[in-house]
Structures are given as structure tokens and as C-alpha cells.
Structure 1
């Protein structure tokens, strides 16, 4: 949930989320809850400030609490149009968690518009932190499709791992998924069904099937 503060010309807002917005290891199109867990859900509350915001540029600052840890983050977004069908996103960020220390992340994205309703996307991120040794990396390959005005799908293949750590270069997991999203019952109500296959290193890359179901409400004051 995001609440804008109008006296600051929509530059400042208060953000309350289920902590997915602060999950630094996730890619933009990644589903965050496909892995089963017995841990308590984490929440974050933050003061968000946007500077130099435009169609292809954004400087963002955030200060708040996430998972019981106080954090500060600065993130820069810059999008470049290569042609009518191609674009490139450059997004470096610097963050500091009181318990985990200083860290940095770089996200790169390449988009190719296959048609008016279909797009191919590649995401790549690397992340380093005082919290761990080595560098965490993640690749994502996506085929986005708008089926109609109320329905869309995302076919995805992701790989993640570590390099320059104690074990050198290693792939932790591959994930293949298909997300089907549709609007039903109310204009603001969205449903998602996502079957997926995981191939984790800890299981010798044996296939682990699963399915994620989500309901999302989207409210926007026009």
C-alpha cells in the first residue's frame, strides 16, 4: 500500500508492503512466494522520496524498517530507447541495513517488442553485501503477452547463483514458470495462477513442481 503526500507534489509517499519491495535478490517480474517456507511473513514500512522523475529517469530514496531491521536505500533508474522496438534499463542501487551492513546492486534489463501485445525481456542482476562473501547473480528470461484487455501471461526461465565466493562459481537453482493473470468480479480485483518447476542444487537439480495462487486488489485515485 502506498499513500502519497500531496503537499510534497507527489514526490514523497509512505509505503507499507509485505516486504517484497525490499527483497533485494528478486528480479522485477519474479514471483516472490513460490518457495514454501515456515517463516513468518515480513512487512516493511518506509518513507519514499522520488527526485528527477520522468518517463525514462528516476532517482529514488527510501528510509524505513524491513523485517525488524532499519534500512536506507538510494536507487537510480535510467531507460534508453535503442529503437522503436528495443529499450535498455540501467538501475544501480546502494543500500545500508543496520544489522547487515552496506551493500550494492546492479540491475540490467533489455526489452524487445515482438508485437503490440507481446514482448521479450532479459533481466540480469548482481549483488554484493557485507552480509555475505562473493557476489550473488540472477538471470531472467521472459515472454510477456497481453491476451486481451483483462488477461495477460508471463512465461519465465530464471537461473541464480553465486560467484567469487567460498565455492567459486555455482548455480543454486533454475526455475521455469508460467503466470496467468486475469481481472474478474471487480474492476480492481486481479487473480494469478502460476504453476512452476524448480531445479535446486540442494536436490541435485531434480525437478520440484509447485503452484502459486494470488489475489491482488489495485486501488488508484484518478
Structure 2
């Protein structure tokens, strides 16, 4: 992967520059089996790879991911697909930032069933106190077939005693092609178990605005995550229950088992 990154960066390098020798790739790959009472064969495969390009003063990254959000939502596949299955498609994009820590970035690439797209994104974090903070982001994008779209995220985080964390996450998606909104609300409680493991409790709801404001899904789980044998290898066990409108909100019980591999400085 590093060799490919150097070869790619050399394309942009000046003849007198050796910066491309420092090009590196980093990312993660996750394999999961997520059987539930209505779908025992459910599997999940997720990946994200980022290639930094020193020849372009580290202002441009090459991003390769299994979806176009690049935020790597960690919901089970059944919950993720019910939000917007159009996002779950391999995406290749170039991202430009004026500086590494700039809150504003721009992307151009291909994804979501082979569509070309352009996207601008703004994200920022503000700490009210040592224990209370807020993260917010906004995206505006255009796809050649899906046309205009937008996203807005607003997340609150509270640091509790004993290194516990409470988070309230909210996200809204607008689709011009259907003239409607997706909405998603989530509560998370993170509790460390040991220096190498933790449990994340989650309650998620989401739905759409048309033909009326309606609930599409309820999802709750407890995820145990641990560092397994190597610093770059993680294992997850996540019992869950999901209620889907398309299944008449009948509860579906399941458990997810995952291995996740990290590469480079992620």
C-alpha cells in the first residue's frame, strides 16, 4: 500500500523533489457476521483507506471507502441500510484542505452507484468546559443522478466520572431527488472495562419526513470492544435488537461478531 501511495504521489512531484518518498497509506478494514432472527446470513464488510500526498503539500488526500460519507458509521448493516442504502457503495475521491487542521474541505470523486460528485464539508468542535463539548458539521454535495443533497450533524458529549462518556448524536440528510429528509437520533454511553476494552451502549432511532414524519427504525445494542493480540487488531461482540418498519416493527434479535484491522497511522 505504501508503494502504491509513493507511485501515485510521484505523478504530482516536481523532478527536483523527493517528497513523494514520504507518501503513506493508512486505513482500516472490518469483517463482520451479524446474524439475527430474520436474517441469519447477514454479513458486513467495511473499509476506509486514506493516501496522503506530500508532493501536494499534504493539502490533498486520496480517499477510498465502502460508502460516500467517510465518517464510518458503526451501526450494524441492517440499521445502516435502512437510513439510506444509496450511500453503501464504494467511493473514490480526492479531498482538498487548505491546511491540515482546516474545518473546511472539498471533495471530487465517484461513488454511489458510479455517479460523479462534488462535495464541500465543514466540521468543527467546541468545548464549553473540560467535561462538555459539541461537534457539528455540514455537507453540501451534488451527484450526477441524485442531484443536490445536504447533511447536518450536531453531537453533544459529556465526560462523566470514571472515564465514562455520554453522547447525544443527531443527523439530518436532505435529498433533492425525493424532496425529503432523513433524520437520525442516537444516545451512547461508553464505559471502559479495562485498559484494552470498553462497552458501548446505544439507542438509535431514525425515519423520514415523507409522506409524513414517521419512524422507520429503532435499534439498541451493547457493544464490547477489545484490543486483540496485536495493537492493530480489534475484536467486537455486539448483541442487539432492531425494530424495522418494513418488518412491521417486529423485534429481530441478533449478535454481531467483528474483526477490525488498522493499517498505518489512523
> Which category of TM-score, normalised to the shorter sequence, fits these structures?
0.7 to 0.9
- 1:83-114 Cα shifts (integer Å, max 9, x gaps): 11100112111011111001111100000001
- What is the match of residue 58 of structure 1? 103
- 1:136-174 Cα shifts (integer Å, max 9, x gaps): 1110100112323321221100000122x22x1100010
Find the aligned partners of 1:93 and 1:3 in 2 and give their Cα distance.
22
The change in CA–CA distance for 1:51 and 1:8 in structure 2 (over 3 A counts) is same
1:195 CA drift (Å): 1.7
Structure 2: give runs of 5+ residues left out of the alignment.
1-48
* Higher relative contact order, structure no. (Cα contacts within 8 Å, ≥ 6 residues apart): 2
Within the alignment, does 1:4 sit opposite 2:52 as a pair? yes
The change in CA–CA distance for 1:138 and 1:28 in structure 2 (over 3 A counts) is farther
Within the alignment, does 1:100 sit opposite 2:149 as a pair? no
- What is the match of residue 214 of structure 1? 258
Paired residue for 1:184, among 216, 220, 228?
Answer: 228
Aligned residues: 212
Paired residue for 1:160, among 206, 217, 226?
Answer: 206
The change in CA–CA distance for 1:10 and 1:52 in structure 2 (over 3 A counts) is closer
Whether contact under 8 Å (2:171, 2:185) holds in the other structure is: yes
Which structure would you say has the larger Rg? 2
Whether contact under 8 Å (2:131, 2:160) holds in the other structure is: yes
Within the alignment, does 1:141 sit opposite 2:192 as a pair? no
Whether contact under 8 Å (2:79, 2:217) holds in the other structure is: no
In terms of fraction of residues, the more helix-rich structure is 2
For normalisation by structure 2, the TM-score amounts to 0.72
1:191 CA drift (Å): 1.5
Find the aligned partners of 1:128 and 1:220 in 2 and give their Cα distance.
34
1:116 CA drift (Å): 5.3
Structure 1: give runs of 5+ residues left out of the alignment.
none
Find the aligned partners of 2:265 and 2:134 in 1 and give their Cα distance.
30
Within the alignment, does 1:121 sit opposite 2:167 as a pair? yes
In terms of fraction of residues, the more strand-rich structure is 1
For normalisation by structure 1, the TM-score amounts to 0.86
Find the aligned partners of 1:156 and 1:103 in 2 and give their Cα distance.
27
Q: How does 1:24-63 map to 2 (within 5 A)?
A: 30-34=74-78, 42-54=89-101, 58-63=103-108
Within the alignment, does 1:88 sit opposite 2:134 as a pair? yes
Q: What SS does the corresponding residue of 1:202 show, helix, strand or coil?
A: helix
1:9 CA drift (Å): 3.2
Q: What SS does the corresponding residue of 1:218 show, helix, strand or coil?
A: strand
